[in-house]
Amino acid sequence: MDIQAASVIAAALAIGLAAIGPGIGQGNASGQAVAGIARQPEAEGKIRGTLLLTLAFMESLTIYGLVVALVLLFANPFV
Amino acid sequence: MGQHSSNVTLSNQSPEPVLVREEQIASPDSNSLESHDPMADFYQLQRSLLLTTLALTGIFTFPVWYFFSPNTAFNYLVGAITGLVYLKMLAKDVERLGQQRLGAKGLGIFVILILVASKWQQLHILPVFLGFLTYKPAIVIYTVKSIFWSAEKSENDA
How much of chain B exceeds pLDDT 90, in percent? 46
Give the closest-approach CA distance of B93 to chain A in angstroms: 9
ipTM above 0.90, yes or no: no
Interface of B with A (CB under 8 A): 33, 36-46, 49, 87, 90-91, 93-95, 97-98, 102, 106-107, 110-111, 114-115, 118-119, 125, 129, 132-133, 135-136, 139, 142-143
Give the closest-approach CA distance of B42 to chain A in angstroms: 4
pLDDT tens digits, B14-31 = 455 545 444 444 444 444
pLDDT tens digits, A20-63 = 999 999 999 999 999 999 999 999 899 999 999 999 999 999 99
* pLDDT, average across residues B139-145: 91
Q: Which residues of B touch A26 (CB under 8 A)?
A: 102
What integer pLDDT is reported at residue A39 of this predicted model?
94
Query: Between the CA of residue A40 and those of A27, A37, B131, what are the distances in Å?
Result: 20, 5, 37
Task: Report yes or no: A61 and A3 within 8 Å, Cβ to Cβ.
Answer: no
What integer pLDDT is reported at residue A61 of this predicted model?
92
Which domains are assigned to chain A?
3-74 (1.20.20.10)
Q: Which residues of A touch B40 (CB under 8 A)?
A: 45
DSSP string, chain B: -TTTTTTEEE-SSSSS--EEEHHHHS-TTHHHHHHS-TTHHHHHHHHHHHHHHHHHHHHHHHHHHHHS-HHHHHHHHHHHHHHHHHHHHHHHHHHTBTTB----HHHHHHHHHHHHHHHSTT--HHHHHHHHTTHHHHHHHHHHHHHHHHHHHHHHH-
pLDDT tens digits, B46-65 = 999 999 999 999 999 999 99
Chain B residue closest in CA terms to A51: B94
